[in-house]
Chains A and B, each alone.
Chain A
Amino acid sequence: MAIRPLLSRTLGLTQTLTHSHSHSHTLTQLRGLQTFSLPDLSYDYGALEPAISGEIMQLHHQKHHQAYITNYNKALEQLEDALAKGDSSSVVKLQSAIKFNGGGHINHSVFWKNLTPVSEGGGEPPHGSLGWAIDTNFGSMEALVQKISAEGAALQGSGWVWLGLDKVSKKLVVDTTANQDPLVTKGANLVPLLGIDVWEHAYYLQYKNVRPDYLKNIWKVINWKYASHVYEKECP
């Protein structure tokens, strides 16, 4: 996880020390801004082939996701600064950068866990309560896969297609979000079980314009164990 370089960063906060403390307590008094860092994949870049090429996995992880994190951290720093100064105009202006880049970080962090090599169970359908819930909500696994693939293919521009759980109603839903909007923007109670990135960067080098083929093949490396794990946590 991230090493927080508190010492090397200038935190532009005014300290209001209500009690007198020695300098050794100073660091614990300061509110440190959490910085985010790129999560590791639990598999090699090439491990998802032929469904997703190693070239794509490396670019997607090391360049795209990293860029979202870098820009998210930057926006948060600027936000902290604006909040401290009471600069409301800047606070509001920063919201879109936080949404884009924070959303990008959230979504990709889920995505890497949604994928796993065939040798680790990629593509194996969920057993247990999630499998049962899928049959109940959608009729069958095949119907669910069809629905997600169709909605993913039909999405105009950039975005994501999701299998989500409404943690209040306990219903499963399929939905899409635009750009890097996280699933929660479609419903405050929605928890993502599975997300598929349909931005062109997710498939272009391998599948070019044929997004439907990407959506057909990705099922071979979907990590249903993770989706089940999230589901069971919310629906014990």
Chain B
Amino acid sequence: MSQETLEYHWGKHHRGYVDNLNKQIIGTELDEMPLEDIIITTYNKGDILPPFNNAAQIWNHDFFWESMKPGGGGKPFGELLQLIERDFGSFEKFVEEFRSAASTQFGSGWAWLAYKANRLDVGNAENPRPSDEDKKLVVVKSPNAVNPLVWDYSPLLTIDVWEHAYYLDFQIRRPDYISIFMEKLVSWEAVSSRLEIAKAQATEREEEEKRKQGEKEVGNSDNEAVKMYVDSKSDDSEAE
């Protein structure tokens, strides 16, 4: 990835998103919010509000720079590699799927490796205990500024496939850009540490939900006890 590309991509495009978002949110309630909250709020369940594009693109580009390092590439290690092999069959099959997503994202967008922690909401039924296999790695692609945060996934790795990301260096040859990214730029350390955080968050959430579920049940049995007192007339008449 050439210096010229970085100068424009980071210095002009990314910076532009920052400047524009600041202008858009000044004096609004969005101004107080953390970036991720701005993104979710302005995504507005798909009915996108104007600040979304700038906010999400800021986040996406931060995430993209940190997904790379000089002298990157190679293979992942440790638990990340294990999960990749579990969920894709092999590292090579993961790479295949990631490259495919990146090259078939039509128009502008991004390809992602994300950690998806299934949160099964089954309404009135008791939540089944989620097994580890429900928490899995997935490859997804997204158009323009959309990112997996809006789907409640935890992004682990991304590649920018807007034309501005590769046009100076590769022109139309997006597949070559994707290859170089995988072979020379990916920071598997960054991906690994993001995975750790994602897993910890998923566990925390699970425990939070279990706690809430427990509280609800206690609340229900309290209500039943109150009902009993109200229905019984014997105490009242004795008091009088």
Interface 1/0 per residue, A190-212 and B, CB below 8 Å: 00000000011100110011000
What size tier do the contact residues of chain A reach? 20 to 34
CB-based contact B172/A200 at 8 Å:
no
Residues of the B chain whose Cβ atoms lie less than 8 Å from the Cβ of A180: 106-107
Q: Is A64 an interface residue (CB 8 A)?
A: yes
What is the minimal beta-carbon distance from A196 to any residue of chain B, in angstroms? 16
CA of A64 to CA of B8 in the docked complex: distance in angstroms? 23
Per a CB cutoff under 8 Å, which of A158, A205, A209 touches B107?
A: A158
Q: Is B144 an interface residue (CB 8 A)?
A: yes
A5 CB–B CB distance under 8 Å: no
Q: Closest residue to A100 on the B side, CB-wise?
A: B106
The answer, among B16, B108, B172, for a CB contact under 8 Å with A158, is: B108
Q: How far is the CA of A96 from the CA of B145 in the complex (A)?
A: 20
A63 at the interface (CB under 8 A from B): yes
Question: How distant is the Cα of A179 from the Cα of B143 in the complex, in angstroms?
Answer: 10
Interface: B171 (CB within 8 A): yes
B171 touches A200 (CB 8 A): no
Question: Are A156 and B53 in contact, CB atoms less than 8 angstroms apart?
Answer: yes
Cβ-based interface call for B164 (8 A): yes
Does the CB pair B145–A156 fall under 8 Å?
yes
B168 near A: Cβ within 8 Å?
yes
Residues of A within 8 A of B145 (CB): 156-157
Q: State how many residues of chain B have any CB contact under 8 Å with chain A.
A: 19
B162 within 8 A of A: yes
Nearest CB of B to A147, in Å: 19
In chain A between 174 and 232, which residues have their CB closer than 8 angstroms to a CB of chain B? 178-180, 199-201, 204-205, 208-209
On whether the beta carbons of A200 and B107 are closer than 8 Å, the reply is no
Alpha-carbon gap, A149 to B162, bound state (A): 21
Interface residue from B16, B53, B162 paired with A200 (Cβ < 8 Å): B162
CA distance in complex: A204, B162 (Å): 11
Q: Which of B168-184 contact A (CB under 8 A)?
A: 168, 171-172
Given A199-B163, A200-B162, A208-B8, the answer on whether A63 and B107 have CB atoms closer than 8 Å is no
Collect the chain A residues with CB atoms within 8 Å of residue B199's CB: none
Other A-B pairs beyond A200-B162, A208-B12, A209-B8, 11, CB < 8 Å: A59-B171, A64-B172, A180-B107, A199-B107, A200-B163, A200-B164, A201-B163, A201-B167, A204-B167, A204-B168, A205-B171
Residues of A bordering B, CB below 8 Å: 59, 63-64, 67, 96, 100, 156-159, 178-180, 199-201, 204-205, 208-209
Interchain Cβ contacts under 8 Å between A and B, 24 examples = A59-B171, A63-B172, A156-B53, A157-B143, A157-B162, A158-B108, A158-B163, A159-B107, A179-B107, A180-B106, A180-B107, A199-B163, A200-B108, A200-B162, A201-B163, A204-B164, A204-B167, A204-B168, A205-B167, A208-B12, A208-B164, A209-B12, A209-B16, A209-B164
